[in-house]
Structure 1
């Protein structure tokens, strides 16, 4: 229950401050011209992301590729606006973890492969594709 509360509060804060999040992801000057304290905004989003990441790791373990792949895939699907990216990234991350867990439990049944290993195996090809695409 405490994990669900922290995740719910963190998501509400992220959704409520989505406009600031869009501005912080721009260049250095635009947020300042629009009246946003850039250093305070970045610090606040950093603290929020650390809190949400730590809570997710406490609940599910170290499944690092979800944090690398899901936001990039969401951004590719719905664009750069965080009002769309955040919910889609959450859903894609959940689908990736559930798929990794399902595959890890069924590939060599009755033995199991860890969800972290399967997440890395499922997420690595897409992540490599992103790296190659950004070099071009």
Structure 2
């Protein structure tokens, strides 16, 4: 951002804080295209993701190429993350909170976790954006800051709960 427009630091700070302010349909189209292509690909491989979650040996015995599968999902995750980040900036806690909350709601089966995580992530960003626009109106808080305020305590609680269970 600063390389393209070095005197527009407010634009860079807005992007870094994860804001939906001033976004247009032109910026939404690439994200929608990535979702329309990427989500069915992820859902198609949900069974193999379930196998990989077990251990290293079970997928190999069943003939699943772990290296190729991991590379494919890594590329898919990178493309989806890049598309979202290019559109609204850094919304890091959404990626941490939504999958864990989805797994807590529907269990460990990726066929169910993936669409629920997408829906929860969209809901979290929408609610955070609404809160950010209304709490200190007429000023605004960026959606990324609101999700961090919600996500950080949730993530700490999740870590505490996991540690207490062991």
**TM-score, normalization: structure 1?**
0.96
- Does 2:146 correspond to 1:110? no
Cα displacement (A) at 1:21: 1.3
Where structure 1 has 5 or more consecutive residues not aligned to the other structure, the ranges are none
- Larger Cα-atom Rg: 2
2:80 corresponds to which of 25, 36, 52: 52
2:129 corresponds to which of 66, 77, 101: 101
Q: Deviations over 1:51-91 (max 9, x none)?
A: 11111111221100000000000001100000000011011
Q: Deviations over 1:21-76 (max 9, x none)?
A: 11122201010011101111111111111111111111221100000000000001
**TM-score, normalization: structure 2?**
0.79
The 4+ residue runs of structure 1 with deviation greater than 6 A are none
Q: What is the RMSD computed on CA atoms of the aligned residues?
A: 0.9
Decide whether the 8 Å contact of 1:57 with 1:63 is kept in 2.
yes
Where structure 2 has 5 or more consecutive residues not aligned to the other structure, the ranges are 1-28
- Does 2:65 correspond to 1:37? yes
- Does 2:110 correspond to 1:82? yes
Equivalent residue pairs, number: 136
Highest RCO, 1 vs 2 (Cα 8 Å, sep ≥ 6): 2
Give 2:101's aligned residue. Answer: 73
Cα displacement (A) at 1:20: 1.1
Q: Distance in 1 between matches of 2:138 and 2:49?
A: 45
